[in-house]
Structure 1
Amino acid sequence: MHVGTEASASGAAWELELRRLAASEEDTARGMFFQGTLDVVGFLGGDGAVARCKGVAGIWEINPVHMYPIGKYLRMTTTAARLLAPQLDGFEGVLRRIGTQATVDFVSSMFGRDLMQTANGSPRKLLQSLGDGYRAAVSYGERYPLWTGEKSARFIMRRDFMPAVYHEGVLLGVLEAIGAQNVRVYGRQVALLDSEYELSWS
């Protein structure tokens, strides 16, 4: 059965809404992720699109290091995906781009700089420490690697509110930031809030 673009976007939006409904007020993420999403929206959609995203989230002033409810971020992301889907190959393209931007913002933060310093140019050390990096940026979930080779791993995420395609962008970005070459990332959902990623690099 063929599923049209509109139907696919509707399904993706509904999945984000299910994720939002699964979150509590204690499930929070740092403002840098909100700001990074707004930077993408502003670049591609202009000030009007930024205002819509802020309004939907109910957040007008964002402090990059403050923690905000992930439910508000999911509202913002859903709106961003609807607005930018025509320019970025649908919802998945938007989520991947936002995930990549999240990496750029995280790596440039004090939390990210500590992580990169600990990794010291090693993708393996980076992945081993990445769970700690996430814990500095969000209040929820569990993340860890299972090694499948010298330059490959399965990265496990449990109780994370963003879709697999978003974290494909995150993992691709962070491995490239450490200097890994020919990075491949393939993610799959195993439950609504659980996902796994096959990673390889050279």
Structure 2
Amino acid sequence: GEAAGAQCLEAAGLHALNAGELYPVTRFLAMAARATRLLRPQLGDWAQSLHYIGTQATVDFLASMFGRELMQASRRNPRLLLQHLANGYSTAVSYGERSVLWTGDRSARFVMRRDFMPAPYHEGVLLGALEAVGAQDVRVHGRQLSLLDSEYDVSW
């Protein structure tokens, strides 16, 4: 609710969010850490909480101007969506590299380098994005390769 949202903003030293502004990753990490602690009792554990936050972040992003452009460019095609995500992630964050390696007609390995968020968060992001373009039977399995590197086997 609103009280939880206020706690997350407070953890990041903010009073409100401006949807058109890019914030330093340190603020996002502080908000995500607080949100994870608040959600953990309802969702079960840290990973499930991060997964939920990632999915919700995707829903919010796709409602933004940049997100609507991404949806239009993807033409409800999961392959196009993943390619545009790999190329356009920088509209949402100022760090890291992303790439997509196709493993089949309806499967890929999405690779993230120098990204601060743990694998469960990005599992939620990828799941939410693929479901938003109408992909069915979406599966996302992430692996943390090192502190800042991860990869995700995605299929639909």
TM-score (norm 2): 0.95
Q: Give the number of aligned pairs.
A: 156
1:77 and 2:46 matched: no
AA matched with 1:131: A
Contact 1:111–1:133 (CA<8 Å) still a contact in 2? no
Candidates 121, 128, 145, aligned match of 1:173: 128
CA-CA distance at 1:120 after TM superposition: 0.8
SS across alignment from 2:41 = coil
1:126 and 2:81 matched: yes
CA-CA distance at 1:117 after TM superposition: 1.1
Segments of 5+ residues of structure 1 without an aligned counterpart are 1-41
CA-CA distance at 1:167 after TM superposition: 0.4
TM-score (norm 1): 0.74
Candidates 86, 92, 116, aligned match of 2:41: 86
Contact 2:87–2:99 (CA<8 Å) still a contact in 1? no
SS across alignment from 1:157 = strand
Segments of 5+ residues of structure 2 without an aligned counterpart are none
| Structure with larger Rg | 1
Distance 1:84 1:117, change over 3 A: same
SS across alignment from 1:59 = coil
1:164 and 2:119 matched: yes
Hey, what's the Cα distance between the residues in 2 that align with 1:56 and 1:115? 30
> Relative to structure 2, which stretch is displaced further, 161-170 or 86-95?
86-95
AA matched with 1:172: L
SS across alignment from 1:86 = helix
AA matched with 1:144: S
